[in-house]
A and B are shown apart, each in its own frame.
Chain A
């Protein structure tokens, strides 16, 4: 009746393939592998531990914000203000550590998340109490928060020499083998994964996104869930902001400008449905990884910088189309 069982009349190997292909993330994984092989053939320097560490470092911040974005999109919403939240919190935290270089780093991280939480909560309030559609509400705060960056910094910026060494080490230090930032991103991914799959609220997030009316009938407070996801997105952005300032050793008025679209891209490429209710943490991580690999690969195979942005967009589209194509084939095989 359903596509749950592999077709009986197939050899062991193709059954294995079929089982692999059943994973929702199969399409994008295959595309990533093809990309890795193709780029390595052009330039073997791509497939080195050093380069992959670099890629991981590059996508850690993206992954953290994209996971927050994912929880929002799961409820049929979108958070366009993430880039401005990152910009504003990065600026505020940088000023803070510049003025108080002896502040404990964990406290700085916590403060960044707290600031993000406040900004996210403002989004939540506009959407749940003000009844403004998420795309409009966060489009508004996208400008407001960016405007506050200018107001707060008075147009100045923070340079590397103004930041204490301990703060810069927060992202790049490798006391545990991998850069701290990568470990933090992995930690966030694990927490979000468990939250979405094994907590009551996580289940309710999926329910509200899949069928808001049925969720209401089942006694789920939709507004509470919506409030929560924008708050969480703010916290993720706040954490990412601290890491951003630490990694790039600066805070500027245009920090993370346009970053919101990358987070949406990572989520959507990773299989999160814009219409809500569908999406997984592994998928989003693969989406972020793909974006990171594409960016890195384009430099490594020496695509002209003038072309890079266009090539990046093209590859993303090819990835999504491949994914859909593979998924459709898997479903058809299942039915026969």
Chain B
């Protein structure tokens, strides 16, 4: 008999006759952190959904503690002790922390009424045992993403989950929050919980995981001890080829100043932000989540105009009060949240790409479909969007391809200034490299790029200059040569220098 707490053998899954998983094996030991790795579309999510009973496999077997098992829905898998925490957190925003932990299973007293005192006492005990500090009566909508994750983990622990699946839990966390999360994961591991951990950040896997399984195009590549593999090995296993240069930054002689921001302030989210952006330059903007970087970008793009300060384009002062004005001035903004701000998911690829430029593709208000179609096709092809055709709906695409559509949409506007907000968050290694190559090319053609990123290797690898923000203030400014990981972290986390305190 094996020691595996959970084992999948030769799992095959088809959608519309297309195999998305081909005889994939997966095993889990009690008390291990097992990383699941692969590019977008490699089949990780489908495999997780088979484990949790969302999908039923078309072939293969599932063993739980050595016993053949079938899950026909998520309720059954939960009862069997499998809990999954997805990227989209599923708390009830208007219930408080304790209520969220015990939702649907509130302790009851006589007559079926909820025993509130017991509920709070148990929640308190549970959080203490996990070493998590949270205000029990805080409403979920007021929690940070990291805190919400903690609540979800606490909920999983409270139902005695022996197997915890975490789908990209760190993609939206700050460095400190990631450290907290890892502490909690290690604690659970010590207590014997088996954890399946999905992340695109390879560094994290080396820090946390015991074993790693790599999938590629729905096929099992290998399961290895993490200590036996290198970062390059993992990338090679994932993409099937070697990516030699993750950050293909070309050296470009920066041109004249195109955008100048002077003492820009916005309703309490950022203050006195001043910088210049040159033609052909990639200006990185580092900082913790919530430091106000996105607010600065929204102000420049006219989504949420600044309350004071000056924006100059080509030395001329401009008032940008709406996105349509910003677009007309040659700005483009690829927002942080694809689903919420970047795409119209139910619309097809063509309509998504043409959206900011409908005026260009219409005459007297009527669309000229041929022009729209050929322009969209050209952009989608240039970006190498992988889809059945350009009529496919955006929501049916993988994350990486969705991001390519958003990029195609904004590049179609022929911008002179491109603002990229977390351009590679949650997308796979291959697409990431493609996006970086694209940025480098655009800059060498003279486009000015402002890149907000929370990923330090990306900031360091792609930027000509780096700005660092903390709590609404600019706290650091480095050239490519001077910048180091330590300097940026220190500028992003140290307290604001005296004198600029509000």
Does A53 count as interface, using CB distance less than 8 angstroms? no
Cα–Cα, bound, A9→B14 (Å): 14
Interface positions, chain B 170-228, Cβ under 8 Å from A, are none
Q: How far is the CB of B437 from chain A (nearest CB, A)?
A: 25
Cα–Cα, bound, A216→B321 (Å): 12
Given contacts A206-B347, A221-B324, whether A198 and B369 have CB atoms under 8 Å apart is yes
Cα–Cα, bound, A218→B302 (Å): 11
Chain B residues near A334 (CB-CB < 8 A): 16
Chain A residues near B16 (CB-CB < 8 A): 1-3, 5, 7, 334-336
Cα–Cα, bound, A207→B345 (Å): 10
Chain B residues near A213 (CB-CB < 8 A): 340-341
Given contacts A217-B323, A220-B324, whether A204 and B346 have CB atoms under 8 Å apart is no
Which chain A residue has the least Cβ–Cβ distance from B20? Answer: A1
- Are A217 and B335 closer than 8 Å at their CB atoms? yes
- Are B355 and A207 closer than 8 Å at their CB atoms? yes
Chain A residues near B396 (CB-CB < 8 A): 1-2
- Looking at B81-89, B98-106, B356-364, B484-492, the stretch in contact with chain A turns out to be B356-364
Partner of B15, one of A8, A203, A215, A335: A335
Cα–Cα, bound, A89→B121 (Å): 64
- Are B346 and A1 closer than 8 Å at their CB atoms? no
Cα–Cα, bound, A278→B344 (Å): 12
Chain B residues near A215 (CB-CB < 8 A): 344, 355
Which chain A residue has the least Cβ–Cβ distance from B347? Answer: A210
Does A199 count as interface, using CB distance less than 8 angstroms? yes
- Are A199 and B367 closer than 8 Å at their CB atoms? yes
Q: How far is the CB of B351 from chain A (nearest CB, A)?
A: 7
Interface positions, chain A 208-226, Cβ under 8 Å from B, are 210-211, 213-221
- Are A4 and B355 closer than 8 Å at their CB atoms? no
Given contacts A1-B16, A199-B365, A200-B359, whether A278 and B340 have CB atoms under 8 Å apart is no
- Are A1 and B388 closer than 8 Å at their CB atoms? yes
Which chain A residue has the least Cβ–Cβ distance from B398? Answer: A1
Given contacts A1-B16, A207-B347, A335-B15, whether A217 and B333 have CB atoms under 8 Å apart is yes
Cα–Cα, bound, A133→B114 (Å): 36
Chain A residues near B15 (CB-CB < 8 A): 1-2, 335
Interface positions, chain B 17-43, Cβ under 8 Å from A, are 17-18, 20
Interface positions, chain B 313-346, Cβ under 8 Å from A, are 322-324, 326-327, 333, 335, 340-346
Interface centre among A198, A203, A335, by most B CB within 10 Å? A203
- Are B388 and A210 closer than 8 Å at their CB atoms? no
- Are B324 and A2 closer than 8 Å at their CB atoms? no
- Are A200 and B367 closer than 8 Å at their CB atoms? yes
Q: How far is the CB of B205 from chain A (nearest CB, A)?
A: 28
Does A295 count as interface, using CB distance less than 8 angstroms? no
Instruction: Count residues on chain B whose CB falls below 8 Å from chain A CBs.
Output: 38
Does B392 count as interface, using CB distance less than 8 angstroms? yes
Does B310 count as interface, using CB distance less than 8 angstroms? no
- Are A214 and B323 closer than 8 Å at their CB atoms? no
Does B143 count as interface, using CB distance less than 8 angstroms? no
Does B130 count as interface, using CB distance less than 8 angstroms? no
Chain A residues near B327 (CB-CB < 8 A): 219
Q: How far is the CB of B73 from chain A (nearest CB, A)?
A: 15
Chain A residues near B324 (CB-CB < 8 A): 219-221
Chain A residues near B388 (CB-CB < 8 A): 1-2, 4
Partner of A200, one of B303, B326, B346, B366: B366
- Are B341 and A217 closer than 8 Å at their CB atoms? yes
- Are B18 and A207 closer than 8 Å at their CB atoms? no
Chain B residues near A112 (CB-CB < 8 A): none
Cα–Cα, bound, A7→B303 (Å): 45
Does A160 count as interface, using CB distance less than 8 angstroms? no
Does A201 count as interface, using CB distance less than 8 angstroms? yes
Given contacts A1-B18, A1-B388, A210-B346, whether A219 and B365 have CB atoms under 8 Å apart is no
Chain A residues near B355 (CB-CB < 8 A): 203, 207, 215, 218, 220
Chain A residues near B303 (CB-CB < 8 A): 216-217
Cα–Cα, bound, A257→B264 (Å): 55
Chain A residues near B301 (CB-CB < 8 A): 217
Partner of A210, one of B18, B326, B344, B409: B344
Interface positions, chain A 310-336, Cβ under 8 Å from B, are 334-336
Interface positions, chain B 345-387, Cβ under 8 Å from A, are 345-347, 351, 355-356, 358-359, 361-362, 365-367, 369
Which chain A residue has the least Cβ–Cβ distance from B358? Answer: A200
Given contacts A2-B392, A4-B388, A218-B356, whether A211 and B365 have CB atoms under 8 Å apart is no
Interface centre among B18, B20, B347, by most A CB within 10 Å? B347
Q: How far is the CB of B420 from chain A (nearest CB, A)?
A: 13
- Are B367 and A203 closer than 8 Å at their CB atoms? yes
Partner of A198, one of B335, B340, B344, B366: B366
- Are B367 and A214 closer than 8 Å at their CB atoms? no
Chain B residues near A200 (CB-CB < 8 A): 358-359, 361-362, 365-367
Which chain A residue has the least Cβ–Cβ distance from B15? Answer: A335
Cα–Cα, bound, A5→B355 (Å): 27
- Are A198 and B322 closer than 8 Å at their CB atoms? no
Interface centre among A8, A218, A336, by most B CB within 10 Å? A218
Partner of B17, one of A8, A220, A277, A278: A8
Cα–Cα, bound, A199→B368 (Å): 9
Cα–Cα, bound, A336→B366 (Å): 40
The contact string, 1 if C-beta is below 8 Å from chain A, for chain B 374-417, is 00000000000000100010001000000000000100000000
Cα–Cα, bound, A277→B346 (Å): 8
Chain A residues near B392 (CB-CB < 8 A): 2, 4
- Are B358 and A204 closer than 8 Å at their CB atoms? yes
Q: How far is the CB of B332 from chain A (nearest CB, A)?
A: 10
List 8 additional A-B contacts (Cβ < 8 Å) besides A1-B15, A1-B18, A207-B347: A199-B367, A215-B344, A217-B303, A217-B323, A217-B335, A218-B409, A220-B324, A220-B355
Listed A/B pairs (29) with beta-carbon separation below 8 Å: A1-B15, A2-B392, A2-B396, A3-B16, A9-B17, A198-B367, A198-B369, A199-B367, A200-B358, A200-B359, A200-B366, A203-B355, A204-B358, A207-B344, A207-B351, A210-B344, A210-B347, A211-B343, A211-B345, A217-B301, A217-B341, A218-B356, A219-B324, A219-B327, A220-B324, A220-B355, A221-B324, A277-B346, A335-B15
* B binding-site residues for A, Cβ under 8 Å: 14-18, 20, 301, 303, 322-324, 326-327, 333, 335, 340-347, 351, 355-356, 358-359, 361-362, 365-367, 369, 388, 392, 396, 409
A-B residue pairs, 10 tightest by C-beta: A219-B324, A200-B362, A218-B355, A218-B356, A200-B358, A219-B323, A219-B327, A210-B344, A211-B344, A217-B341
